[in-house]
Amino acid sequence: MHDSLKEKIAGEIVISADPGKTMRKWREEFHLSQLELAHELKVSASVISDYESGRRKSPGTVIVKRYVDALIQMEIRNGSRFIKRFDTEEKPDYLLSIREFKGSVSLQEMMHILEAQCVSRGISIDRDLHGYTVLDSIKAITTLGANDYLKVFGWSSQRALIFTQVKYGRSPMIAVRAHPMKPAVVVYQKPENIDELAIHLSKLENIPLLVSDMEIGEMIGRLEKIGDEVK
């Protein structure tokens, strides 16, 4: 019910130049004290203080997820007093499907499931994925703003960004290169052609570029099955 809000908060923390300050901002948005949040997380209040002040190193994905889950759970128990200000957004029409895996999925496994080929030779495909996002590339390129990328990346940037409606593939890779958050892999679903510039940009960013001729309905069905089955 509140997944989009969780993704927004987590994305802001991950991408922030000062993650601790952003963590504090969201805690205060829900009018929670460090002590209350620490009790929920079963840690000392000094741990929360250390993260928010920057005395501890930037939190990883697991810590950010626990932190955000605790914020939302406490807010719901408190009667959802403040959450309605943020949790009213509908899924944008450029976002066709997004999911986090329950565990890691190797890129090789993803390639097999999507019947995809790597067109950017020389880039290692020995990497793991934590989720995926399927985008209508035309709508995404024309409507995505800087803050919208937080929705695209969900809980982790270690994911596959899959673009539909691709003609030559320049614009999606230019957008990926321009943004500080990078996916683990980019996939084009049934592109008309692949421009050499797209391949060149994927190599510059060390992001494998895959191509799949699978129909979008079949692709999303297979991706959702991965999300349900992976341990």
Q: What CATH code is carried by the domain that includes residue 32?
A: 1.10.260.40
Q: Quick check: is 56 in a domain?
A: yes
For residues 169 and 220, state if they share a domain.
yes
Where residue 187 sits, what CATH number does that domain have?
3.40.1390.20
Residue that terminates a domain, selected from 85, 105, 131 = 85
Give the domain extent around 106: 95-229
Q: How many whole angstroms separate alpha carbon 140 and alpha carbon 99?
A: 18
Query: Are the CB atoms for 189 and 164 separated by under 8 Å?
Result: yes
Domain count, the chain: 2
Give pLDDT, residue 83. 73
Taking the CA atoms of residue 23, residue 24, residue 30 and residue 32 in that order, the dihedral angle to the nearest 10 degrees is 120
Q: Quick check: is 79 in a domain?
A: yes
For residues 103 and 201, state if they share a domain.
yes
Task: Please name every residue paired with 116 in a beta bridge, in sequence order, or none if there are none.
Answer: 212
pLDDT band, residue 89 (cuts 50/70/90): low
For residues 150 and 36, state if they share a domain.
no
Give pLDDT, residue 231. 45
Is pLDDT of 88 > 60? no
Q: Quick check: is 35 in a domain?
A: yes
CB under 8 Å to 79, separation ≥6 — which residues? Answer: none
For residues 212 and 117, state if they share a domain.
yes
Is pLDDT of 33 > 90? yes
For residues 79 and 102, state if they share a domain.
no
Which segment of 94-98, 122-126, 211-215 scores lowest on mean pLDDT?
Answer: 94-98
For residues 79 and 123, state if they share a domain.
no
Average pLDDT over residues 25-50: 92
* Mean residue pLDDT across the chain: 86
Q: Quick check: is 90 in a domain?
A: no
For residues 69 and 114, state if they share a domain.
no
What would the two tokens of residue 142 be? 């024309």
Residue that terminates a domain, selected from 85, 110, 138 = 85
Average pLDDT over residues 179-195: 91
Is pLDDT of 181 > 70? yes
Is pLDDT of 84 > 80? no
For residues 217 and 164, state if they share a domain.
yes
For residues 118 and 219, state if they share a domain.
yes
Give pLDDT, residue 155. 67
**Residue length of the chain:** 231
Is pLDDT of 175 > 90? no
Q: Quick check: is 42 in a domain?
A: yes
What HEC string does the chain produce?
Answer: CCHHHHHHHHHHHHHCCCHHHHHHHHHHHCCCCHHHHHHHHCCCHHHHHHHHHCCCCCCCHHHHHHHHHHHHHHHHHCCCCCHHHCCCCCCCCCEEEEEEEEEEEEHHHHHHHHCEEECCCCCCCCCEEEEEEEEEHHHHHHHCCHHHHHHHHCCCCCEEEEEECCCCCHHHHHHHHHCCCCCCEEEEECCCCCCHHHHHHHHHHCCCEEEECCCHHHHHHHHHHHHHHCC
pLDDT band, residue 48 (cuts 50/70/90): very high
Q: Give tens-digit pLDDT for 206-230.
A: 999 999 999 999 999 999 888 555 4
Average pLDDT over residues 87-110: 80
Query: Are the CB atoms for 20 and 54 separated by under 8 Å?
Result: yes
Residue that terminates a domain, selected from 51, 85, 119 = 85
Average pLDDT over residues 57-83: 86
For residues 126 and 190, state if they share a domain.
yes
Q: Quick check: is 131 in a domain?
A: yes
Average pLDDT over residues 183-201: 94
For residues 64 and 26, state if they share a domain.
yes
Q: Quick check: is 208 in a domain?
A: yes
For residues 30 and 103, state if they share a domain.
no
pLDDT > 70: percent of the chain: 91
Give pLDDT, residue 148. 66
Is pLDDT of 61 > 50? yes
* 226/166: higher pLDDT: 166
Is pLDDT of 189 > 50? yes
pTM: 0.65
